[in-house]
Structure 1
Amino acid sequence: MVTGTPLETELRNRFLDPLDMNATYRAGREAIPGGIPGDYEYAGPNSLAPTSVDGHVPKTPEISVISAEWASGALVSTPKDILQFVQAIFNSSQYSGVRAELTKVAAHPAQDGENRINSGAGVFVWDEDGEQVVGQFGFIYPFSAQFIYWPASKTAIEVIANEVDSSSNPNFNF
């Protein structure tokens, strides 16, 4: 859909303001009260980094890195706001069109052995013990955010982390 208005305006008007997501901002386009959250890399107790504190190396993320993710990862938010968003998408008739688009199965689903993991528009959908589960994972080094939602029980779990552990394997940051 082309509206001719900036993405952050559309997000704010369609989701953030109606859902009272008052702690969610689009990095690089909206002012973030208090600035961008700090982040850390756990390099291990033997780290030689001059700024290391007990193996944790504080970092200051560049707005250019975060905003470069545009719609796929340039949101700065909180678990509370993300849970409000997930609950609204999956429980409100107002967002039924969004829900249908998110969970629409792609033509070529991912396979994990015998398990079929359907990917929708930004989420994964799978069956767990006969119950549908929806999940999403996003990552901008060293931040990660994920949610898992069980529609039948309306249970949602949200995790946002601002640290990666590169001490055991620097090529694997999850």
Structure 2
Amino acid sequence: MRRRIVFATNNAHKLDEIRAIAGDRLEVLSLADIGCHDDIPENEPTIEGNAIAKARWVRDRYGYDCFADDTGLMVDALGGEPGVRSARYAGPGHDSEANVALLLERMDGVADRRAHFTTVIALTEGDETRVFEGRVDGEILTVREGEDGFGYDPVFRPEGCAVSFASMSADEKNAISHRGRATARLLEYFNSL
């Protein structure tokens, strides 16, 4: 029997991505599936802190074992920006187009394009919390490339790849992405039980 667990997100793209990575090993419930329509705060100063806070929010208020993720894009030439503010880089509206536009504007003429994505997944089981991390290094492109993916995918090309995340199929991206790597560690933990 598959284990049922809540993924604390309202992002349909993330939910689809996690469900594809988990396959038939987990039954991943959304916040809507459990009747949670809360605007869960993300006020922590770190990616790990936000992931933990979101997972505990659901566990404390709804009683479900839960995992939550937070992801940041860190650009070397920008001192690690957008970092923990990646989803709200251009303002509070979670506007991916505006975020990408601001990033490209700030990177205009910058030679050092190195960057990395980090995803931290926090899992709450009862009173225990475990953390799983995934990272992928790459570079920021000068223009958008590709039609798939979401967020910064059109301007991020992973190291060793010829195309951006947005030019890859979902399976290709999930095999090497930061979220894919963090989720693989989460699944390894479940498989070890």
Tell me which interval the TM-score lies in, with the shorter structure as reference length.
under 0.3
**Higher fraction of strand:** 1
Output the TM-score relative to the length of structure 2.
0.24
Output the TM-score relative to the length of structure 1.
0.26
